Amino acid sequence: MVILTLNCGSSSAKYQVYDWDNKDVLASGQVERVTIEGSQITHQAKGRDEYVRQSPCPTHKEAVELIINTITAPDVGVIKDMSVIKAVGHRLVHGGSKFTKSVVITPEVLDAFRQLSDLAPLHNPANILGVEGAQKVLPGVPHCAIMDTAWHQTMPDTAYMYALPWEWYEKFGVRRYGFHGTSFLYTAKRAAVLLGRKPSDTNLIIAHIGNGASICAVKNGVCVDTSMGMTPLEGLVMGTRSGDVDPAIPFFVMRKTGMNIDQIDEILNKKSGLLGISGKYADMRDIQSAIAAGDKRSKLVFDMECYRIKKYLGSYVGAIGRVDAIVFTAGIGEFGWESRAGICAGLEPLGIVLDPQKNKLARTRNAETLISTDGSPVKIFVIPTDEELVMTEDAYALMKGTYDVHTNFTYTFQSPDYVNKARAEGLVKDLKKTPDLARILAK
């Protein structure tokens, strides 16, 4: 049985083709720069060289078509035709209060997601286009929605409510929802394995740091707070998003400049964050290169990002009490040793002690690594996320009728014996290049 997962972001479309019977990834990849000039697909099939092809994708419809054509192509594909696919898992960023767990997509469900689009304007419309495109090609198989917000449904009202008029909550659903839920679910379950504990016995602080970034407090295995809010705009400094700001600032600027609501919304979501301060770069790799060249504004925004994460991390220590581990994940979290060093600097009084040499070694997506000192009371893990696997397992369980909320459901990757076959092959190559990597493997 083969399951396809689609994760359509604001300007990208990730995918994975998974052989459920053999628990193996047949292919994975990403279409980058969707809606932007220079779109291309990067496709990695098991046992083959990476395949890259440029192809215009003015919308997500073309991106989905490009993915389908690639995975079925005679020369680079991994399946004969789309009839092999028996279920499709789709990432839907915002489920609002309507959806508290993964669901099979019906016309009514899809309409409900359309109504929620204004809560995640950069993501939900793109997610919906991915669903519609895939349904046209695969009308006869179940399509399943896996929500970023579902993981955070365990937050207490003291964490998810805003000190705003109660009517806004009742009439419009104004509250904290949180995002990156599939990533937090995966890394929380994996951290419990690495700690040798049940998920319900683990307290964690997880930092998902990429172009979009958020941090999550996990107490007794469930989310109790997170940095993103009603939309993905709140919280940390991100690639193009502002994160936390004084709510009076937009009104101040509107009065000064005559900008309208849509213009301010675009600036806060698409022209702020790393890009807003540096004036040039939305990608941390570019920021690091600029810092090396002496760019002061890039250094400033790097320090701002680290400081904001450190502030949240410290507050979450207070929120959950005992902390078993800090977890870094996503692009910057997995590869940005400079960011991890900046975030952890000065946290020794909280029992969080980073080993600088281990930290520099931890730059791989193929292994879970331990980068704290041997004597650190709180462990620091780098756990490469696997949102696609969560989506795959939810889709399979929904199709079989065995799915339930994560506190009542056991994922395959919760087993101490779990091995990601594709990453295991990659790790062998990494170890040949960097033998010292072996000493920081988390298990």
Domain of 202: which CATH number?
3.30.420.40
Range 294-323 average pLDDT: 97
pLDDT the model gives residue 120: 74
Percent of the chain with pLDDT over 90: 74
pLDDT the model gives residue 18: 94
pLDDT above 90 for 92: no
279 pLDDT tier (thresholds 50, 70, 90)? very high
pLDDT above 90 for 136: no
Please give the mean pLDDT across all residues of the chain: 92
Name the residue range of residue 379's domain: 196-387
For Cα atoms 91, 65, 56, give the angle at the middle one, nearest 5 degrees: 105
pLDDT the model gives residue 124: 79
Q: Which residue has the higher pLDDT, 32 or 246?
A: 246
User: Which residues are paired to 18 by β-bridges?
Assistant: 3, 25
Give residue-wise pLDDT tens across range 325-376. Answer: 999 999 999 999 999 999 999 999 999 999 999 999 999 999 999 999 999 9
For Cα atoms 327, 330, 331, give the angle at the middle one, nearest 5 degrees: 130
Q: Looking at the 3D structure of the chain, how many domains does it have?
A: 2
Token reading at 285: 């790799």
CB 92 within 8 A of CB 7: no
Same domain, 124 and 207: no
Has residue 407 been placed in a domain? no
pLDDT above 90 for 203: yes
pLDDT above 80 for 57: yes
pLDDT the model gives residue 289: 94
Has residue 422 been placed in a domain? no
pLDDT above 90 for 125: no
Same domain, 256 and 109: no
Please tell me the least confidently modeled range out of 10-19, 143-152, 280-289, 432-441: 10-19
pLDDT the model gives residue 97: 79
pLDDT the model gives residue 121: 73
Token reading at 265: 């919304």
pLDDT above 90 for 420: no
402 pLDDT tier (thresholds 50, 70, 90)? very high
- φ and ψ at residue 214, rounded to 5 degrees: -155, 165
Range 262-286 average pLDDT: 93
Residues 6+ apart with CB under 8 A from 333: 207, 208, 209, 210, 339, 340, 382
**Domain-terminating residue out of 147, 164, 179:** 147
CA distance 279 to 425: 40
Same domain, 316 and 219: yes
Q: Which residue has the higher pLDDT, 385 or 36?
A: 385
CB 437 within 8 A of CB 367: yes
CB 145 within 8 A of CB 159: no
Give residue-wise pLDDT tens across range 259-271. Answer: 999 999 999 999 9
Same domain, 219 and 307: yes
Percent of the chain with pLDDT over 70: 100
Range 87-91 average pLDDT: 92
**Domain-terminating residue out of 89, 116, 147:** 147
Please pick, among 19, 148, 225, 394, the residue that the annotation labels catalytic: 148
CA distance 411 to 433: 32
CA distance 131 to 134: 5
**Domain-terminating residue out of 114, 147, 180:** 147
Active site residue 148: yes
pLDDT above 80 for 169: yes
Same domain, 137 and 215: no
For Cα atoms 218, 427, 363, give the angle at the middle one, nearest 5 degrees: 60
Same domain, 321 and 255: yes
CB 188 within 8 A of CB 219: no
Give residue-wise pLDDT tens across range 223-254. Answer: 999 999 998 899 999 999 999 999 999 999 99
Residue of 213, 149, 157 lying closest to 177 (CA atoms): 149
Same domain, 351 and 241: yes
Residue of 392, 402, 6, 343 lying closest to 186 (CA atoms): 392
